[in-house]
Chain A
Amino acid sequence: MTARIQLPAQSRRGEVIEVRILIQHDMETGFRFDDVGKPIPRNVINALSCHYNGVEVFRADMSSGIAANPYLQFYTVAEASGDFVFTWVDDEGRQDTERQRLNVVG
């Protein structure tokens, strides 16, 4: 799945930083019908987690109430330079991951 992460270009140790992620996914609600009237099965990203240098700093359980092409913005405290690793899974069991490095000074 196409996904993009945004972290600050540079951050200071102890600074609260903004983390953003946008994932391309239909988040099919399960309440829609196709053009011959057959129900389209639900398939949403139901779980997402973010690990920063191996430690979970954010987790989300999601349902059809989150819009298609889910966007999430949250905050975390910058500690050491390292990778932000996002993993997520949808109802069909498709799992994906995306990572980005954060540079921390000080």
Chain B
Amino acid sequence: MWSAERRLRPLRSWLVPAACCALLQVTGIAGVASQERAIALEKLQSGRVFQSEEVRALQADDFANPGMLWVEKGEKLWNETAGADKRSCATCHADASVSMKGAATRYPQMDGASGRLLNLEGRMQQCRVERQKAPPFRYGADELLSVSAYVSHQSRGQPVKVDIEGGAKKHFDAGRAFYYERRGQMNLSCAHCHEANQGRTLFAEKISQGHSVAYPIYRLEWQSAGSLQRRMRSCLSGVRAELLPYGAQQYLDLELFLAWRAQGLPFEAPGVRR
């Protein structure tokens, strides 16, 4: 009764017509002006909406939300000195609830000095190395994740708004191209799930619109908090594509595109997702 075949049948039954629709829609989208939105601003929905009531309740509970443990750890690290000059984040930025309010909503952004695109973690690494004169956190390290959670949390409720003009334009275009490019053994692009099939059920889950406003999230599957890049790698794994290393330029460009795509959605870090 519960043979593998039976489980596959529901997948196959929606996949074929969906894939056809997706193909039409995706090629249609790729053909229009680059700043046209596949999902209109007023139709944007946070991933929270696609989660179950239990998961939403856990995110809303500021005490029990496991992501808050990373926020708390991040607050401790914010005040911890490092480097030869014994500077902490607080040395320059004082009270994060004031100085960092809204900061995360403007990332990724161009760094004037280096001409590179930086996400929030990249900016923190830059501060650590150049201003604190301390060794950088390893990408994916718990410390970096904790401070990122703490800083992102200060922007909770603030709408996402990134700048895609000037130096950022080429990164935005690259991110957008990556989003609509098919990849992996399953030959799917991000749009196949998160645009063509958002709101529909894939196995036991509802496919979200794929926004980045809740990151870093506590993911039940990871039994831990994790970054947006970790989630992207999970997606790549899902379509059986090559996992690019953390910090890869493609991820950064994609982060910029996603932030533009979610424009106006309020930040909700730390999110809880299944």
Chain A: residues with CB nearer than 8 A to chain B? Answer: 2-4, 6, 20, 22-24, 26-27, 67-69, 71
Contacts and interface: CB of A to CB of B under 8 A. Distances in A.
Interface of B: 63-64, 66, 68-70, 72-73, 76, 218, 223-224
Given A4-B63, A22-B64, A22-B66, A68 B72 contact: no
A69 B223 contact: yes
A24 B69 contact: yes
Given A67-B223, A69-B223, A20 B63 contact: yes
A71 B260 CA distance: 36
Contacts of B69: 2-4, 22-24, 69
Given A68-B223, A68-B224, A69-B223, A24 B73 contact: yes
A20 B70 CA distance: 18
Contacts of A22: 63-64, 66, 68-69
Contacts of A68: 66, 223-224
B72 to A, nearest CB: 5
Contact of B72 (A2, A20, A67, A71): A2
22 contacts: A2-B72, A2-B73, A2-B76, A3-B69, A4-B69, A4-B72, A20-B63, A22-B63, A22-B66, A22-B68, A22-B69, A24-B66, A24-B69, A24-B70, A24-B73, A26-B224, A67-B223, A68-B66, A69-B69, A69-B223, A69-B224, A71-B64
Contact of A4 (B68, B218, B223, B224): B68
A22 B70 CA distance: 12
Nearest to A3: B69
Contacts of B72: 2, 4
Contacts of B70: 24
A20 B224 contact: no
Q: Which residue, B66, B68, B73, has most C-beta atoms of chain A within 10 A?
A: B66
Contacts of B66: 22, 24, 68-69, 71
Contact of B64 (A20, A24, A27): A20
Contacts of B73: 2, 24
Interface centre among A4, A6, A24, A68 (most CB of B within 10 A): A24
Contact of A6 (B63, B76, B218, B223): B63
Q: Which 9 A-B pairs have the closest CB atoms?
A: A68-B223, A24-B69, A69-B66, A2-B73, A6-B63, A2-B69, A2-B72, A71-B64, A20-B63
Contacts of B68: 4, 22
Contacts of A27: 223
A39 to B, nearest CB: 17
